[in-house]
Chains A and B, each alone.
Chain A
Amino acid sequence: MRARGLGNLRAVLAPVAAGMSVMAVAATILVPALGRDARKSAPDGVSGPLAVHRAYGPGAGQARSAAAKCTAGTAAESLRPSPDDGPAVERIKKKGQLVVGVDQNTYRWGYRDPGTGRLEGFDIDLARAIAKDILGPDAKVVFQAVPTNQRIPAVQKRTVDMVVRTMTINCVRKEQVAFSTAYFQAGQQVLAPKASSIRAFDDSLRGKRVCTAAGSTGETALAAQSHGAQVLRVPNQLDCLVRLQLGEADAVVTDSALAAAQAAQDPTVELKGRPFTDESYGVAMNKDDTDLVRRVNKVLDDYRGGGADSPWMRAYRTWLKADLPGISGPPSPEYSD
């Protein structure tokens, strides 16, 4: 119940946070009003964004100091949203396309529909929404398949503008890349056949063969506490479902979102127990692109807003509800400045 309790706490705090973000939005509109007007009158739009960017100098400084004393409790904090164009947003506009690092193998999150050849999923919808906000209704989005271990280098080398790929926000990663506010709340969870005696991440795993992806959080969790299970390591989390179906493994330990994606592909398995870790997914961007981080946070605000009919809830119902039922709304944003 821990994660759900946390979710409830967030739900309680949501109005407070929303109120704060309303104030923040008001501030963004009021404070740099001169800069915005100047930009509107100067269509080349070069000096304006720079002025706006400078206006946020102190905020960025705070974010950096916040990252320096990052803890598990504050990891999900990000910069306050802003709709303004900074150098990074200008760069994307100049290119005329948004390059997004995504997964192509995770059902319901980011995968290529073999029927249409198109990428689909919760992450993909979010990436399209961000592109639409920056580049307009006919935004060109270039999706690049980024393997799990290439997510951070791809952002650092700017081969992609951002990574939207079930990426967990944590302090180690925050030293290398910047994250948006959390857009999904997940945690490590056990997946097993419905008929299995395995109940959760507990001693019911004793003597069982548990599959996990090499290098994943699940592997670390099993190394810390195996509950008497034999651990089978495979290259990719989806390989675990293959092993489970072939009877080479009894259970899978992976992210709840990925576990749900597996359950969506096999009606005979289900998520067992509750997530036993707490992880938030965020959009990863280059640390220097503070204006882009604020812009994405603004998009996320819009994406989350609107209650039961918000774009977030629509995407949730389309992609995730069947296998991750009971989520009443998106996680609330937390800010460091």
Chain B
Amino acid sequence: MSSTSSVTSVSAVPSAAPAPAGGASGPAVRRRTAWAEGLDRLRAAAVTEPGRLRAIGAVLALLVVLFGAATAWQVSDRSAAADDVVERSQPLTADAASIYRSLADADTTAAGGFLAGGTESPATRARYAADIATASDLLVKASANTRGSGTPDAAGVQIARLGRLLPRYTGLVETARTNNRLGLPLGGAYLRYANDQMRKELLPAARALYDAETVRLSADYGRAKAWPLFALAAGVAAIGALVWAQRRNYRRTNRVFDRGLLAATAASVVVLLWLVAGHAVARAGLSDSYEHGARSLRVLNEARIDALQARGDENLTLVARGAVLTGDQKDFYEVGFRAGMQDLAGAGSEGGAAAGSRLGAALALAGDDAGRRPVRDAVAAVREWQARHAEAREADDRGDYGQALAKVIGPDASTGASFDRVDAGLQQALVHEQDRFRSAADGGRGAFGGLAVGAGVLAVLAAAGAVLGIGRRLSEYR
């Protein structure tokens, strides 16, 4: 901080100095107190013009090198942050979303397999096993990226919680399966308890992990997009000082051009413009990747989990068979299904998705038609799902459990087929938005490319130019 203030105080003088046209030594005298003690030695040497020129040359070279160094440092920092966004925090966020999704999918699949009776299909079993394996693998991967020692960070806390809860959950599901195989209704009670654990413990933990990773992603975005104010200030100061020095030379010697100083100025201006333009482009790319990538991905992930939970509730309505009621005597799982559908596509059961709903938000965030198409497909599938669900409920209320079951888990024209379409649409949209994220973020990252090195090289050239330019003036005194 002290270096920052000394630079700004130094820059304040030369930029203010050309203004009074009275006398050359005027500003130095009037601003005497403004020169900090640090320049006392320079003042002692500055009684003669060559001494003054030497001091000016040193300050100019210092300012220009400082500018170059600040640019290289701040740009590298932002470039590293942008790399973190693309290569670390966004993949970790995506992994957290996968953990969340796998858990919800495992729960939904378990309930679906349960409905099929004692003979669960191998495909259902495999899907459940794959979900649990994915969640376990990603938890290990995620835990490798948390703060290793000391108190764990927010993500670490949730990973540990999930690590404790997951074996317990799978134990409950296996007990449910065993009892179901034996023909005991106790299996259904175990499954409901497992679902209760998933709903109240695991999914909130997975959600909190996802949120923690999202916070990390936002922080990386913030670091990557922050304007390099120090470098910009140093650039303005260096260029101001160079202009002042040339103006001083012109006033004293009537020489219009000093090639060295001119080259130094030109190089500094190039670095400054490059810095501003490069950062603006990177910022725009990253903002685009955030709007159309990260935010879209988040909404789509949430929509997918809503759909999974609604599907789980639909399955459990048939497993629980009225065993669990809400406070106002409605079937707990049917109420959950309706709430899920409302989150997904808004109230009502026809037409497009409401603006406030997840799918409505996903449509609004999708940047192009290729992104909107799968979301529209998902909306259409949600409507079909709702219509079929109503038929299934109607059959179940009529006492035709067999038909209700066929309508929910049957091979064709079932709500299960509609759910699969919703999930497939959202998956497609996720892949598309992931690509968009990647290309926008890579475009943004690319704008930083070469800037740090270029700024360093140009700053050295500018410093050399400044020293040479002042040296030329000095040589006239020999």
Q: Which residues of A contact B (CB under 8 A)?
A: 99, 104-107, 111-115, 117, 142-147, 149-150, 235-236, 238-239, 241-242, 245, 262, 265-266
- Distance to closest chain B CB from A305 (angstroms): 30
- Distance to closest chain B CB from A14 (angstroms): 33
Q: Are A150 and B183 within 8 A (Cβ)?
A: no
Q: Give me 8 other A-B pairs in contact (C-beta within 8 A), A236-B192, A241-B189 excluded.
A: A112-B185, A113-B183, A114-B117, A114-B183, A235-B332, A242-B186, A242-B190, A265-B184
The 8 closest A-B pairs by CB, nearest first: A147-B322, A142-B399, A104-B321, A144-B399, A238-B189, A145-B321, A236-B323, A114-B117
* 21 A-B residue pairs with CB within 8 Å: A99-B399, A104-B185, A105-B188, A105-B189, A105-B320, A107-B186, A113-B183, A114-B117, A114-B118, A114-B181, A115-B183, A147-B325, A150-B325, A235-B323, A235-B324, A236-B192, A238-B185, A238-B186, A242-B190, A245-B175, A265-B186
Q: Which residue of B lies closest to A264 (CB)?
A: B184
B218 interface hit (Cβ, 8 Å): no
Cα(A112)–Cα(B185), bound, Å: 8
Q: Are A235 and B179 within 8 A (Cβ)?
A: no
Q: Are B179 and A265 within 8 A (Cβ)?
A: yes
Interface residue count for B (Cβ, 8 Å)?
A: 33
Cα(A149)–Cα(B330), bound, Å: 10
B348 interface hit (Cβ, 8 Å): no
Q: Which residues of B contact A (CB under 8 A)?
A: 117-118, 175, 179-181, 183-190, 192-193, 320-325, 329, 331-332, 396-402, 405
Pick from A144, A238, A245: contact of B323, CB under 8 Å? A238
Query: Across the interface, which residues of B come within 8 angstroms of A143, CB to CB?
Result: 399, 401
Q: Are A112 and B401 within 8 A (Cβ)?
A: yes
Q: Are A144 and B397 within 8 A (Cβ)?
A: yes
Query: Across the interface, which residues of A come within 8 angstroms of B189, CB to CB?
Result: 105, 236, 238-239, 241-242
Q: Are A150 and B322 within 8 A (Cβ)?
A: yes
Q: Which residue of B lies closest to A142 (CB)?
A: B399
Cα(A265)–Cα(B397), bound, Å: 28
Task: Known A145-B322, A265-B185; judge A239-B179 contact (CB<8 A).
Answer: no
Query: Across the interface, which residues of B come within 8 angstroms of A142, CB to CB?
Result: 398-400
Query: Across the interface, which residues of A come within 8 angstroms of B193, CB to CB?
Result: 239, 242
- Distance to closest chain B CB from A213 (angstroms): 10
Query: Across the interface, which residues of B come within 8 angstroms of A106, CB to CB?
Result: 185
Query: Across the interface, which residues of B come within 8 angstroms of A245, CB to CB?
Result: 175
Cα(A247)–Cα(B401), bound, Å: 34
Cα(A144)–Cα(B331), bound, Å: 14
Cα(A99)–Cα(B398), bound, Å: 9
- Distance to closest chain A CB from B400 (angstroms): 8
Q: Are A117 and B117 within 8 A (Cβ)?
A: yes
Query: Across the interface, which residues of A come within 8 angstroms of B405, CB to CB?
Result: 117
- Distance to closest chain A CB from B163 (angstroms): 20
Cα(A111)–Cα(B322), bound, Å: 12
Task: Known A105-B185, A114-B118, A265-B184; judge A147-B323 contact (CB<8 A).
Answer: yes
Q: Are B329 and A150 within 8 A (Cβ)?
A: yes
Query: Across the interface, which residues of A come within 8 angstroms of B329, CB to CB?
Result: 147, 149-150
Q: Which residue of A lies closest to B191 (CB)?
A: A242
- Distance to closest chain B CB from A337 (angstroms): 33
Cα(A146)–Cα(B321), bound, Å: 8
- Distance to closest chain B CB from A66 (angstroms): 30
Query: Across the interface, which residues of B come within 8 angstroms of A265, CB to CB?
Result: 179, 184-186
Chain A CB within 10 A, most for which of B184, B396, B397, B398: B184
Query: Across the interface, which residues of A come within 8 angstroms of B179, CB to CB?
Result: 265
Q: Are A239 and B183 within 8 A (Cβ)?
A: no
Chain B CB within 10 A, most for which of A111, A114, A235, A239: A114
Q: Which residue of B lies closest to A149 (CB)?
A: B329
Query: Across the interface, which residues of B come within 8 angstroms of A241, CB to CB?
Result: 186, 189
Q: Are A115 and B185 within 8 A (Cβ)?
A: no
- Distance to closest chain B CB from A132 (angstroms): 17
Cα(A238)–Cα(B405), bound, Å: 23
Cα(A149)–Cα(B192), bound, Å: 19
Q: Which residue of B lies closest to A146 (CB)?
A: B322
Cα(A239)–Cα(B402), bound, Å: 25
Cα(A241)–Cα(B401), bound, Å: 26
Query: Across the interface, which residues of A come within 8 angstroms of B185, CB to CB?
Result: 104-107, 111-112, 238, 265
Q: Are B118 and A115 within 8 A (Cβ)?
A: yes
Chain B CB within 10 A, most for which of A143, A145, A242: A242
- Distance to closest chain A CB from B229 (angstroms): 58
Pick from A99, A104, A144, A239: contact of B192, CB under 8 Å? A239
Q: Which residue of B lies closest to A160 (CB)?
A: B399
Cα(A145)–Cα(B399), bound, Å: 7
- Distance to closest chain B CB from A251 (angstroms): 17
Cα(A143)–Cα(B400), bound, Å: 8
Cα(A117)–Cα(B331), bound, Å: 22
Cα(A262)–Cα(B324), bound, Å: 18
Cα(A246)–Cα(B118), bound, Å: 23
Q: Which residue of A lies closest to B184 (CB)?
A: A265
Q: Are B180 and A114 within 8 A (Cβ)?
A: yes
Cα(A148)–Cα(B124), bound, Å: 32
Pick from B117, B323, B325: contact of A115, CB under 8 Å? B117
Query: Across the interface, which residues of B come within 8 angstroms of A145, CB to CB?
Result: 321-322, 396, 401
Cα(A113)–Cα(B331), bound, Å: 22
Query: Across the interface, which residues of A come within 8 angstroms of B192, CB to CB?
Result: 236, 239
Query: Across the interface, which residues of B come within 8 angstroms of A113, CB to CB?
Result: 183
Cα(A105)–Cα(B187), bound, Å: 10
Pick from A99, A107, A144, A150: contact of B184, CB under 8 Å? A107
Cα(A143)–Cα(B401), bound, Å: 9
Cα(A241)–Cα(B185), bound, Å: 11
Chain A CB within 10 A, most for which of B118, B187, B401: B401
Query: Across the interface, which residues of B come within 8 angstroms of A266, CB to CB?
Result: 186
Query: Across the interface, which residues of A come within 8 angstroms of B183, CB to CB?
Result: 113-115
Query: Across the interface, which residues of A come within 8 angstroms of B186, CB to CB?
Result: 107, 238, 241-242, 262, 265-266
